[in-house]
């Protein structure tokens, strides 16, 4: 199935860190917001990394949480063929153009959630962005085993470190 990204990026002029996934999952699209699937631990993980309370589950509160913490959020892909939410099934991807977002922000570091997002960004977008993405483990329900490992929290802690710099 060919999917076109349904949402604009979340950012403002104060954004200093950009976090990118690949493409919103069917569940996230159903819930109408980034990482909307209740089984995805993105919001909990990010809040823990920042030593903050997890934002309420509505889109406006989550977007405010990001902006209050100088974080921009988007996805690497503008459109692609994908089977459900499986990044491994992505075919014929078209990447987003990051020039406008980067010109309007103070992004100093780009993080990508999952290996596929990291590979796609670094292959297709790093030159335009002027920086490579830093890998973060996926918060997807398919990655549950990784969540309990100390490395998971340590890697996500790099977001807070980047914001302190």
Number of compact structural domains in the chain: 1
- Which helix H or strand E contains 16, and what residues bound it? none
Residue 150: what pLDDT?
75
SS3 assignment, position 4: strand
Task: Name which of 24, 148, 126 is nearest 80 in CA terms.
Answer: 24
Task: Provide the whole-model pTM.
Answer: 0.95
Collect the ranges in the chain with pLDDT lower than 70: 143-149
Cβ distance 76 to 9 under 8 Å?
A: no
Task: Give me the domain span that covers residue 90.
Answer: 2-164
Question: What's the CATH code of the domain at 118?
Answer: 3.40.470.10
Question: Tens digit of pLDDT for each residue in 104-148?
Answer: 999 999 999 999 999 999 999 999 999 999 999 999 877 665 655
Tell me the pLDDT of the chain averaged across its residues. Answer: 94
- Please count the other Cβ atoms lying within 10 Å of the Cβ belonging to residue 109: 18
- How many C-beta neighbours within 10 Å does residue 96 have? 19
């Amino acid at each position: 199935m060919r999917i076109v990204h349904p949402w604009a990026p979340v950012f403002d002029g104060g954004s200093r860190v950009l976090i990118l996934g690949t493409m919103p999952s069917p569940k996230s699209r159903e819930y109408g917001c980034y990482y909307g699937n209740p089984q995805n631990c993105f919001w909990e993980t990010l809040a823990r990394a920042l030593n903050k309370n997890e934002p309420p589950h509505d889109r406006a509160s989550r977007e405010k949480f990001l902006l209050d913490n100088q974080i921009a959020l988007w996805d690497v892909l503008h459109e692609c063929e994908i089977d459900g939410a499986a990044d491994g099934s992505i075919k014929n991807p078209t990447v987003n153009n990051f020039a406008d977002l980067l010109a309007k922000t103070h992004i100093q570091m780009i993080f990508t959630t999952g290996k596929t997002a990291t590979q796609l960004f670094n292959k297709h977008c790093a030159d335009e962005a002027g920086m490579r993405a830093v890998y973060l483990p996926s918060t997807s329900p398919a990655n549950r085993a990784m969540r309990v490992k100390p490395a998971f929290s340590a890697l996500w802690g790099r977001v807070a470190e980047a914001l302190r710099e």
